[in-house]
């Protein structure tokens, strides 16, 4: 039990990144009803782009974050306007097939451009531990977690306190009424997809500054993001945060006390339990779709 505080801290650190990545997925599904199987690839592109701008363009970490955010927002906007918009309103199956194809394209395109080797983003601070009683946290992790929390708060304020956020919420509640009220729902959908892609990409860049980015990492991240969204409840902002923290802590505890070899299975065990006892998720309510 002496290591419990350390395992808990490690789990909360990873949980912040899981939550940040899953927020983008839950926004896209909650508003657009698009099951985005390319979500992990946008995470991967954030890490690879962060590696490129910090190591090849020579930008510092925070300038790199801004550049990657702008780049991925543009990518997300274009993907929605030229791809997702063509299957909107045709049910969920065409969107699933389209995003699976997009995922394959992004993975193989990245492999052709940069190869399969791990890529590390240049961090903003030097490596070194900080001690909080029995808990040791590196400066880089602490900074990345702080930036991740700031991004989560910023996304919440954007959705709750801005005109764009009000348009998003109105479109989510009733797209037809929002359109009749003068809201350009097509632009709202594109902005939502761009925001979701940006959050995933920034999560990828933050984690690549601690670990590394690889072209093949997107599939695992997509699975974990879906796990988080199912745990918290489809379309729930608070649920994505709670689900991410729960998954991070569960993985840390299992890896610390049992075995690191089966850590990735824990999320699916939690999903099975949630589907058995609370299928609508921790923070969602039961709804019926006509």
Residue 284 pLDDT level (bands cut at 50, 70, 90): low
Predicted local confidence at residue 254, as pLDDT: 87
Closest to 56 in 3D by CA, of 137, 120, 133: 120
Predicted local distance difference test score (pLDDT) of residue 32:
75
Q: How far is residue 17 from each of residues 108, 163, 206, measured CA to CA in Å?
A: 25, 27, 8
What the block records as the tokens of 201 is 């990409």
Average pLDDT, stretch 65-91? Answer: 91
Q: Answer for the pair 189, 212: CB distance below 8 angstroms, yes or no.
A: no
Give yes or no for a contact between 56 and 213, defined as CB atoms under 8 angstroms apart.
no
Q: Is 120 helix (H, G, I), strand (E, B) or coil?
A: coil
Confidence at 195, pLDDT banded by 50, 70, 90: very high
pLDDT at 1 over 70: no
What is the spatial distance between Cα 236 and Cα 250, in angstroms, rounded to a whole number? Answer: 20
The pLDDT-based confidence of 288 (bands split at 50, 70, 90) is: very low
Helix (H, G, I), strand (E, B) or coil at 279: coil
Give CA angle at 175 (198, 183), nearest 5°.
Answer: 75
The packing angle between helices 218-232 and 92-114, to 10°, is 140
Give the per-residue pLDDT at 261. 75
Q: Nearest-CA neighbor of 265 among 280, 257, 255?
A: 255
Comparing C-alpha atoms, which of 16, 41, 12, 36 is closest to residue 26? Answer: 36
Residue 286 scores a pLDDT above 60: no
Distances from the Cα of 173 to the Cα of 23, 26, 68, 197, 285, angstroms: 18, 15, 31, 22, 15
Q: What are the backbone dihedrals phi and psi of residue 135, each rounded to the nearest 5 degrees, phi first?
A: -105, 130
Q: What is the tens place of the pLDDT at every residue in 227-248? A: 888 888 877 788 889 889 999 9
CA dihedral defined by 109, 115, 117, 118, rounded to 10 degrees? Answer: -40
The per-residue pLDDT of the chain, averaged, comes to: 87
> Is pLDDT at 101 greater than 90 in this prediction?
yes
Rg (CA), the chain: 19
Paired with 129 in beta bridges are 138
Residue 290 pLDDT greater than 50, yes or no: no
* Three-class secondary structure of residue 213 per DSSP: strand
Q: What is the mean pLDDT of residues 211-220?
A: 88
Domain ranges of the chain: 11-217
Angle between helix axes 218-232 and 266-277 (nearest 10 degrees) is 30
Return d(Cα 88, Cα 99) in angstroms, integer: 12
């Amino acid at each position: 039990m002496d290591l419990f505080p350390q395992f808990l801290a490690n789990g909360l650190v990873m949980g912040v990144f899981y939550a940040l990545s899953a927020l983008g997925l839950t926004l896209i599904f909650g508003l657009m009803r698009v099951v985005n199987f390319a979500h992990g690839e946008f995470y991967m592109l954030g890490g690879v782009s962060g590696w490129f701008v910090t190591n090849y363009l020579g930008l510092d970490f925070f300038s790199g974050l801004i550049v990657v955010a702008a780049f991925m927002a543009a990518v997300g906007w274009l993907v929605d306007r030229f791809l997702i918009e063509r299957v909107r309103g045709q049910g969920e199956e065409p969107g699933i097939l389209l995003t699976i194809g997009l995922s394959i394209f992004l993975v193989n395109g990245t492999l052709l451009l940069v190869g399969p080797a791990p890529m590390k983003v240049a961090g903003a601070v030097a490596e070194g531990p900080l001690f909080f009683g029995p808990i040791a946290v590196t400066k880089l992790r602490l900074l990345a977690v702080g930036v991740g929390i700031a991004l989560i708060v910023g996304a919440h304020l954007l959705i709750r306190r801005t005109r764009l956020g009000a348009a998003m919420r109105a479109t989510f509640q009733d797209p037809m009424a929002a359109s009749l009220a003068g809201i350009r729902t097509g632009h709202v959908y594109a902005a939502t997809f761009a925001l979701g892609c940006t959050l995933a990409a920034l999560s990828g860049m933050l984690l690549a500054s601690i670990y590394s980015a690889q072209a093949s990492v997107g599939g695992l991240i997509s699975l974990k993001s879906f796990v988080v969204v199912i745990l918290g409840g489809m379309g729930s902002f608070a649920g994505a945060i709670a689900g991410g923290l729960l998954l991070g802590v569960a993985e840390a505890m299992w890896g610390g006390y049992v075995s690191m070899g089966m850590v990735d299975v824990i999320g699916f065990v939690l999903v099975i339990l949630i589907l058995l006892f609370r299928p609508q998720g921790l923070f969602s309510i039961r709804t019926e779709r006509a």
